[in-house]
Structure 1
Amino acid sequence: MSKSTPATLALTRAGLTFTLHAYDYDPSAERIGLQAAEALGEPPSRVLKTLMTRVDGRPVCVVLASDREVAMKKLAAAAGGKSAEMMAPAEAERMTGYRIGGVSPFGQKRKVPTVLDRAALEHAQVYVNGGQRGLQARLDPAQMRDALEAIVAEISA
């Protein structure tokens, strides 16, 4: 497994302190984020998933705990829109340059607005995808928020 991905390069360029953690990715897992949390031996609230959505047709990256679901109305309001929907997996892969299961909020092909669930900031350290399946980066969520210029809001259902 390569430890150099567009995500790790973006984290390094941003000057963030992070550590990489590899785990055995299970492509048949029903919920990828929960499988990552279990494999890492971490509570799901600390292992964040990255979802690609559309708010009023515009792409928006969403980062929240792997055991939570996005409340689409809350997401739309946080991003300044009226409606939100999940992006189709193939479109998310084309837009980010990552494969599903390896989508990171860092190092995407095109910078899009990011919404970070407020609950992530309750932890000293969280995990986000490191840019490939089976690779997580552990970092300070406040540093992540600042580097991504993320909108922070309560967006979980």
Structure 2
Amino acid sequence: MIEFRRLFYGIGKTKAYAAVGRALAPVDRVLLRVSGGKVGLGSALGVRTLLLTTVGRHSGLTRQVPLVFVRHGKGFLVVGSNWGGGQHPAWTANLLADANATVATNGRSTPVRGRLLDGDERERAWREMVAYWPAYDTYATRASRREIRVFLLEPR
């Protein structure tokens, strides 16, 4: 399965992949929600994916987003790349407004607290994420007007 994921490294860096990914995100979200985080489009391709549930900072409604993750101790590292877009994704602003969230992965739901990483801790986490999904470096180049946010989601 890991070798299959490696096939997508080059494709994952393209703008076309980002466009398809954005278009398929609602399908991925439904699959992850229904399966409790067991099955999504990313996981079908061998990419570790979780479903993050935050509270909308303006609406107060729950918002869900599928994200690639890397395990970090008992927590999860996630990146607000927005496919290299010029704006931070809304879920990152939601986490900054209310750090309490929920992660669904592998059929388990885990209450977490999101912490924005900075400095050396962010750099180490960024390297871990890029080692897992090299396309993040390309996304950072595309999003050169902003620093991509990196969060550690720690169990509460």
What TM-score comes out, normalization by structure 1 length? 0.32
> Of Structure 1 and Structure 2, which has the larger fraction of its residues in helix?
2
Which of the pair has the greater relative contact order for Cα pairs under 8 Å at 6+ separation?
1
TM-score (norm 2): 0.32
